[in-house]
């Protein structure tokens, strides 16, 4: 009995599915909504105090910080455009023998990109590549045997200071050509000076500490909307770095949207009285141009201008473009849904 009911249930489900496909008789698709991907370069600066920082003012006449510090700052802001399906612009393309629509290109998310043609290729955004860092040095590698064997910290600091002054004197003698052992040529002189510079740097780090800078690129998605002319895109803290828009530990960076009104208004008297009878269900965007400015304490003001699908209007393609005597090839902009390329080819 249970087996018979299960088979009956499957039969009803299959019948319902077939009825839905026949009723729709077409392919559903979305027009895009334009998004911004903000590429934010953040520099992290980390300071580590030297082992003998407390003696820096005594021996080097230079005050050194005794506590470690970490700070952040924005050093670059760029962006590229992407798109998501606009849920308010979902349509169904009618498939029948009356129209020469033989191919429809859709993104994986259902956004239409081409009709009877090839989708537009988009160059990938060039991401930030950090430079290779020089090999880190260990300042203790430059300590003399006397400094290593000193019986107190202040005595070690005193001996390190003497070594620093000796290195400076050696560099001065080499530069003047008065050293006891002069190099044979310019390349050898350059090598010797570089080695002395490295030694002085390492010894000074024991007093002055070490500062390391790391630059990282972060990405944030921002979707311009007509209803939000000014909104918080993200927040930034010099103590914590990049923060979410709702994280009050950071200072706000605002996105200010200006509609440049690039599309002329439609005369209501020019609109047709009735809907086109032979509607294929093909629609495209006529995007509007906008300017998005990012401003606030964390960054210097920066503006970007581009065409956004959600700031324009929708246009229906006339069914006569897809008659029986010719075929129309259309490539759409995958970011804003506008027509990028249209060609008409006669059919034999």
The rounded average pLDDT for each run of 10 residues, N- to C-terminus, in the chain (348 residues) is: 38 34 67 97 97 93 93 96 96 83 91 93 90 88 91 93 93 82 83 92 95 96 92 96 93 95 68 58 94 92 96 91 88 95 87
- The neighbour count for residue 235, using CB atoms within 10 Å, is 20
Give the closest residue to 127 by CA, choosing from 41, 243, 220: 41
Residue 268 lies in a domain: no
Q: Total structural domains in the chain?
A: 1
Backbone angles phi, psi at 143, to 5 degrees: -75, 140
Residue ranges making up the domain that contains 183: 139-207
Distance CA 78, CA 51 (A): 40
Q: What is the pLDDT of residue 25?
A: 63
Residue 146 lies in a domain: yes
Query: At a CB cut-off of 8 Å and minimum separation 6, what does 253 contact?
Result: 232, 233, 234, 235, 236, 294, 295, 296, 298, 299
Distance CA 211, CA 33 (A): 44
Residue 253 lies in a domain: no
Burial of 65 (0-12, 13-18, 19+ CB in 10 A): middle
Residue 174 lies in a domain: yes
Backbone angles phi, psi at 24, to 5 degrees: -70, -45
Distance CA 220, CA 64 (A): 38
pTM over 0.85: no
Q: What is the pLDDT of residue 188?
A: 87
Taken as a whole, the chain contains a residue count of: 348
Helix (H, G, I), strand (E, B) or coil at 197: helix
Cα 141 to chain centroid, rounded: 41
Residue 66 lies in a domain: no
Largest CA distance in the chain: 109
Residue 250 lies in a domain: no
Residue 320 lies in a domain: no
Q: Is the distance from CB of 281 to CB of 91 less than 8 angstroms?
A: yes
Distance CA 160, CA 166 (A): 10
Check residue 111 and report its DSSP letter: B
How many degrees, rounded to 5, is the angle at CA 82 between CA 223 and CA 26? 100
Q: Bridge partners of 341? A: 331
Residue linked to tokens 């009735």: 274
Cα 222 to chain centroid, rounded: 11
Residue 104 lies in a domain: no
Q: What is the pLDDT of residue 263?
A: 81
Distance CA 44, CA 73 (A): 7
Distance CA 93, CA 28 (A): 6
- The neighbour count for residue 229, using CB atoms within 10 Å, is 12
* Helix or strand (DSSP H, E) at 99: none
């Amino acid at each position: 009995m249970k087996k018979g009911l299960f088979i009956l249930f499957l039969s009803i489900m299959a019948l319902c599915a077939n009825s839905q496909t026949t009723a729709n008789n077409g392919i559903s698709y979305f027009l895009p909504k334009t998004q911004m991907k903000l590429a934010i370069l953040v520099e992290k600066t980390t300071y580590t105090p030297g082992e003998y920082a407390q003696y820096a003012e005594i021996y080097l006449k230079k005050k050194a910080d005794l506590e470690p510090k970490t700070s952040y700052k924005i050093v670059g802001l760029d962006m590229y455009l992407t798109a998501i399906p606009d849920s308010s612009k979902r349509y169904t393309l009618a498939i029948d023998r009356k129209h020469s629509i033989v191919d429809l290109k859709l993104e994986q998310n259902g956004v239409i990109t081409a009709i009877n043609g090839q989708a537009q290729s988009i160059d990938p955004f060039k991401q930030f590549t950090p430079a290779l860092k020089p090999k880190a040095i260990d300042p203790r590698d430059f300590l003399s045997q006397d400094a290593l064997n000193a019986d107190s910290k202040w005595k070690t600091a005193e001996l390190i200071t003497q070594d620093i002054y000796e290195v400076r004197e050696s560099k001065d003698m080499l530069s003047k050509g008065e050293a006891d052992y002069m190099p044979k040529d310019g390349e050898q002189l350059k090598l010797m000076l570089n080695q002395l510079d490295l030694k002085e740097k390492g010894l000074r780090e024991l007093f002055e500490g070490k500062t390391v800078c790391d630059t990282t690129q972060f990405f944030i998605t921002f979707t311009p909307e007509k209803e939000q002319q000014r909104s918080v895109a993200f927040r930034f803290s010099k103590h914590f770095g990049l923060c979410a828009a709702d994280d009050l530990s950071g200072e706000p960076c605002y996105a200010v949207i200006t509609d440049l009104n690039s599309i002329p208004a439609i005369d209501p008297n020019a609109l047709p009285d009735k809907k086109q009878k032979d509607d294929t269900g093909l629609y495209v965007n006529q995007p509007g141009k906008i300017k998005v400015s990012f401003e606030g304490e964390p960054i210097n003001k920066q503006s970007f201008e581009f065409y956004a699908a959600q700031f324009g209007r929708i246009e229906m393609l006339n069914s006569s473009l897809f008659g029986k005597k010719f075929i129309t090839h259309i490539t759409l902009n995958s970011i804003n849904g506008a027509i990028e390329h249209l060609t008409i080819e006669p059919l034999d």
